[in-house]
Each structure stands twice: as C-alpha cells, then as structure tokens.
Structure 1
Amino acid sequence: MELNVSTASQGGHAVVTATGELDLYTAPKLQSALATLLRDQADRIVVDMSGIEFCDSTGVNVLLAALKRIKERNGTLELAAPRPAVRRVLQVTGLDTVFTVVDVAPALDAG
C-alpha cells in the first residue's frame, strides 16, 4: 500500500494529511513534506493521522525527527486523530507522552 500526503498552510500553521501505510518504504514522502514545512518556518504543524492504517518504527522516527526540529525553534507538532492501531503504537512506546495527540485536526484552507 502507498502513502498519500497533502499539506495546507495558513499563517505559520500547517496541516499535513497522510493516508495509507507509514513504513520504511513510504516514510520518505512524509519526511519530505515535513522538511518543506520546517524549511518554510511553520511554527505549528498538525499531522492528521486519521487515514494512517499502519505505522512502523521508521514512520515514528520521521515524526520524532520533525518534532525535535520544530521544538528547537519553540514550535509545536501535534498528531491528530490517530486510529486505534497507531494510538496503540504510541502508547506501547511511551510516545503518547512525547507527542501532543489531539482528537481532531484543525481545518485550514488548502494553500
């Protein structure tokens, strides 16, 4: 299965919507989208994970790296609406206490 990634941003806030499987083969697509937003100086990034059906350690590492980079400049990265299987990965690894996890992603106009 593949991963589809789209972004919308508005005034320093960005929403990344990802659907599919986040794994060793697809993680570079999400990493590229996050890197672009970080390069564009987004100060708040929300990753809408409601469409992620599977996430392995590579996907988690991409999210952790983006979190580290945005925190270095006092920004925030949130994970929105992870499905139960992904939420379980976060809980088992203790990352549910590292990431801010919200139930719903904010709506932004595509831009």
Structure 2
Amino acid sequence: MELNVSTASQGGHAVVTANGELDLYTAPRLQAALAALLRDQVDRIVVDLSGVEFCDSTGMNVLLAAMKRVKERGGVFELAAPRPAVRRILQVTGLDTVFSVTAAVPALDAG
C-alpha cells in the first residue's frame, strides 16, 4: 500500500494530509514533508490522519520526532481525525497523552 502526502500552508500554519499506510517503507515520505515545513519555520503543524489506515512504530517515531522539533521552538503540533485503528495504537502506547489529538481537521485561517 502506498502513502500519499500533501501539504497546504498559510501564514505559518500547515496541514499535512496523509492517505494510505504509514509504515517502515512509507514513513520517509511523511518525514520529508514534515522536515520541509520545519525548514520553512512553520509554527503550527496539523497532521490529518483521517486517510491513514495503518501506522506502525516507524510512523509513530516520525510523528514524535517532528512534534519534538516543533515544540522545541514553541510551536504547536497536532494530530487530527485519526481512524479507530490509529487511535487504538495511540491509546495502547500511551501516545494519546503525548500528542495533541483533535477529532476534526481545523481549517487554515482565512486571514
């Protein structure tokens, strides 16, 4: 299964949308998108997980590393709309208390 990653950004805020399976083989694609946003000094990153059907430990590590880098410089990193399978992984690992998880994907500010 593939992983498609797209990014929309506006005024220092970005939404990264991932669709497919996030695993050892596809995680570098998400990592590259997040690294580009970090280089661009984006201060709020929301990762839309509504299209992610599976996420393994490699995928979680990519998300954790990006969150750490964003928070180190005072930014905000959120996971949005995880499917039940991904939400279960977050709960079982305790990462639901580490990540900021929202039920819906916030819209980019219109201003």
Q: Name the structure 2 match of 1:25.
A: 25
Q: Name the structure 2 match of 1:100.
A: 100
**By how many angstroms is 1:61 displaced?**
0.1
SS at 1:107 equivalent: coil
**By how many angstroms is 1:106 displaced?**
1.7
User: Percent identical across equivalent pairs?
Assistant: 83
AA of the residue aligned to 2:65:
A
Q: 5+ unaligned residues in a row in structure 1: which ranges?
A: none
Q: 5+ unaligned residues in a row in structure 2: which ranges?
A: none
Q: Name the structure 2 match of 1:44.
A: 44
Number of aligned residue pairs: give it. Answer: 109
Q: Name the structure 1 match of 2:65.
A: 65
Structure 1 residues 8-28: Cα deviation after superposition (integer angstroms, max 9, x where no partner): 000000000000000000000
Normalising by structure 1, what TM-score? 0.96
Normalising by structure 2, what TM-score? 0.96
Superposed structure 1 runs of 4+ greater than 4 Å apart: none
Q: Name the structure 2 match of 1:53.
A: 53
- RMSD of aligned Cα (Å): 1.0
SS at 2:107 equivalent: coil
Greater relative contact order (Cα 8 A, min sep 6): structure 1 or 2?
A: 1
